[in-house]
Amino acid sequence: MIQNISKIGLLFVISVFSYSCSYVTNLYIVNKSESPVAIEYKYSETEHIAIEKPQLYTVSRSEIKDIRKNQSALKHTKGDNLVRCTLEPENAIHIGSTTNFSLKNKQDVAELASNFDYIKVKTGEHITTLYGKELADYMSTVDKHTVILAISQ
């Protein structure tokens, strides 16, 4: 009986420590330029990266803050999985979240690629289209909770 209780206790401790090591990573497109940029992206719904209703945020050096007042600048066609918006300077759009994500992990990068068909960025007259398999090359890790695709001119 005591041996069974100690096994249960050990399993409990292992599960608590395993759970506490998980973290959520949020993915953003951030406009670090001095001009507005037009963003369009098409995503695929998979179990890997949660694509919730996109939200716009303001950006400072130390954090990303919610600016829900500006959500009218965002067009989300749920049936087509298409999002369009204009990002003002120092603004960001939250494009998804996942757990324990790392740009150094090949499986995480493959899952990122499978979630996004493309991201199109228009700065002035210049249009750049990044396809899913290329995204990780242009993204950077701020910390384990934040990964960004920074747009600068």
DSSP string, 80-103: TTEEEEEEPTTEEEEEEEEES--T
96-126 confidence digits (pLDDT tens): 999 999 999 999 999 999 999 999 999 988 9
Give the pLDDT score at 77: 74
- Is the per-residue pLDDT at 10 higher than 60? no
Give the pLDDT score at 16: 46
Give the rounded percent of residues in the chain with a pLDDT score beyond 70. 78
Whose tokens are 């401790």? That residue is 13
CA atoms of 33 and 87, how far apart (whole Å):
10
8-22, 23-37, 99-113: which has the minimum mean pLDDT?
Answer: 8-22
Regarding predicted confidence, which is higher, 69 or 89? 89
Whose tokens are 């979630």? That residue is 115
